[in-house]
Amino acid sequence: MSNAFWAPVSIRKRADGTTAVFPHFIMDRGKPGMITVDQRGKRFLNENTSYHLFGIAMQKANETTPSVPAYLVTDAEGLRKYGLGMVRPGSKGFAPFLAAGYLTQVDTLDQLAEQLGIDKAGLADSVARMNRYAQTGVDEDFQRGTTAYHNANGDANWSGPNKSSASDRSRARRSMRSGSIPAILARRPASPPIPTPSVFDREDRPIGGLYACGNDMQSGGNGRGVYPGPGITLGPGLAFAYLAARHAAARAQAKMKLDCDVLVLGSGAGVFRRRSRRRPAACP
């Protein structure tokens, strides 16, 4: 799982039979009034973590409890203000999403649990706990809203003590019935034996003249399975592209020097005449 960049996505069948996929980067899952639960109705992660770590957490949790798909749950106010997946903020056209089973709308938590096939008591407990955390500002289970990154993914205008937590404010609950599943954004190779932009073969031997940088290589933090958010590969990409360019230039210079040495060595044996080669201007 570590050799890929992950994100939770939701899926919906369009009227024409094609499949629409929505990546849940930052628009909904970490906003006030949103929680993510597994089949037990329990939260199993910090919803405001990076989408990469979110995808990994889903797969890890799924090893012991059905967590793929997971379900994003909010109330009517949360849906109106922040949207939910393909349902845009402020939207009132829920009918196509309800008909497709992408969105589930009910009046009580018990009804929602029945519709989604998850544990009623677990869901009720998760909502009650999150309501309490919204009042205190402290997520005792997963420390949601404890870092600047969490709060940036929350709502800067939220008046509560925690920018990413809000209590349940209305009776009507909505959830994505199809839930969210982890999806691969990009694959990356295993870490090379040394920090270099060179590409290595199966025997860990560098392939001459072939380089990689950015998403296509393991480097820096993302090489260790850490992916805090979008753009993390830009810095390593620039750094290793610079190293690759210097390495390629050095290879070219070394090859030119070798050519010059061969020409000088062979000149006494008439190599110039037989091969009709001209001495490169850059040769000493």
Separation CA 151–CA 66 (nearest Å): 28
Return the half-sphere exposure (C-beta side, CA atoms, 13 A cut-off) of residue 98.
9
Residue 58 has pLDDT above 80, yes or no: yes
Whether 8 and 37 have beta carbons less than 8 Å apart is answered as no
- Predicted confidence at residue 151, as pLDDT, reads 86
Name residue 37's beta-bridge partners.
Answer: 71
Residue 92 has pLDDT above 50, yes or no: yes
The continuous run of DSSP H or E covering 104 comes out as: strand 104-106
| Mean pLDDT of the region 243-255 | 86
Residue 166 has pLDDT above 50, yes or no: yes
Spell out the domains of the chain, with CATH numbers in brackets.
4-184 (3.90.700.10), 190-275 (no CATH)
C-beta pairs of 124-131 under 8 Å, 24+ apart in sequence: 124/41, 125/41, 125/42, 126/35, 126/37, 126/41, 126/42, 126/43, 127/35, 127/73, 127/168, 129/43, 130/35, 130/43, 130/165, 130/167, 130/168, 131/167, 131/168
Per the prediction, the chain carries an average pLDDT of 80
Residue 185 has pLDDT above 50, yes or no: yes
Separation CA 39–CA 54 (nearest Å): 17
Whether 116 and 145 have beta carbons less than 8 Å apart is answered as no
Task: Give residue 213's identity as a one-letter amino acid code.
Answer: C
> Which of 37-51, 141-155, 157-171 has the least mean pLDDT?
157-171
| Mean pLDDT of the region 9-20 | 91
Locate tokens 């860990």: which residue?
A: 204
| Mean pLDDT of the region 108-115 | 92
Cis peptide before 280 (omega within 30 of 0): no
Q: How confident is the model at residue 282 (pLDDT cuts 50, 70, 90)?
A: low
Residue 55 has pLDDT above 70, yes or no: yes
- Predicted confidence at residue 157, as pLDDT, reads 87
Phi first, then psi: give them for residue 154, nearest 5 degrees: -90, -135
Q: How confident is the model at residue 172 (pLDDT cuts 50, 70, 90)?
A: low
Cα 12 to Cα 20, 159, 185, 187, 199: the distances in Å are 5, 34, 18, 24, 39
What does the block give as tokens for 130? 């999150």
| Mean pLDDT of the region 43-52 | 92
Class of residue 214 by CB neighbours under 10 A (exposed 0-12, middle 13-18, buried 19+): middle
| Mean pLDDT of the region 206-233 | 70
Name residue 8's beta-bridge partners.
Answer: 182
**Can you spell out the DSSP letters for 173-236?**
EEE-TT-BEEEEEEE-PPPPSSS-SEEE-TTS-EEEEEE--GGGS--GGGGGT---STTTTHHH
Task: Give residue 99's identity as a one-letter amino acid code.
Answer: A
> Which of 15-24, 110-119, 169-178, 208-217 has the least mean pLDDT?
169-178
| Mean pLDDT of the region 190-196 | 53
| Mean pLDDT of the region 172-177 | 57
Phi first, then psi: give them for residue 209, nearest 5 degrees: 80, 5
